[in-house]
Amino acid sequence: MPEAGRGSGGLPADAVLEGLRTLSGWTVDEGKLLKSYAFANFVAGVRFIDQVTVVAEQQNHHPDLCLTWGKVTVQLWSHDVGGITARDFRLAMALDVLYESGNAGAQ
C-alpha cells in the first residue's frame, strides 16, 4: 500500500477501503481507523495497552486509546498528514496479531 506524503491528507478513499478488506473488525469513523477489543476484565485491558505501547514505540506511530471495563478502543490516523496512511494499517495489523496471540490477556 503506498505511503501518503506529508500534507496530502492521507490515502485516497479507495485505498482505505482496500486496506480495510485486509483487516478484521476495523471501521472508519470520522477519518480514523477504529476498533474495539474485548477483554475479560479491566486488568486484562490494561495489560493489552501496556503491550500496545511497546508495539507503537517500535513503529514510532502512536494510537489514541480508550480503556473501559472489559474493552480497549483504538483510533489510528496519521496526525502529520491529517488522514489514514499505510502506517495506520501496519499498526492495525500488528495490534490484531498481538490481540490474537493471547499474550495480552484477551478474553
Could you give the CA distance from residue 102 to residue 48 in angstroms, rounded to a whole number? 10
Percent of the chain past pLDDT 90, that is, above it, reads 85
Report pTM. Answer: 0.86
Determine the pLDDT at residue 104: 54
pLDDT in tens, 14-45: 999 999 999 999 999 999 999 999 999 999 99
Determine the pLDDT at residue 70: 94
Could you give the CA distance from residue 70 to residue 44 in angstroms, rounded to a whole number? 8
Buried/exposed code over 59-98 (b: 16+ C-beta within 10 A; e: otherwise): eebebeeeeeeeebebbbbbeebebbbbbbbbbbebbbeb
Structural domains of the chain in order of their starting residue, each with its CATH number: 13-100 (3.30.1360.20)
Residues 6+ apart with CB under 8 A from 13: none
- Please give the angle made by the CA atoms of 94, 99 and 105, to the nearest 5 degrees: 145
Answer for the pair 16, 28: CB distance below 8 angstroms, yes or no.
Answer: yes
Answer for the pair 72, 85: CB distance below 8 angstroms, yes or no.
Answer: no
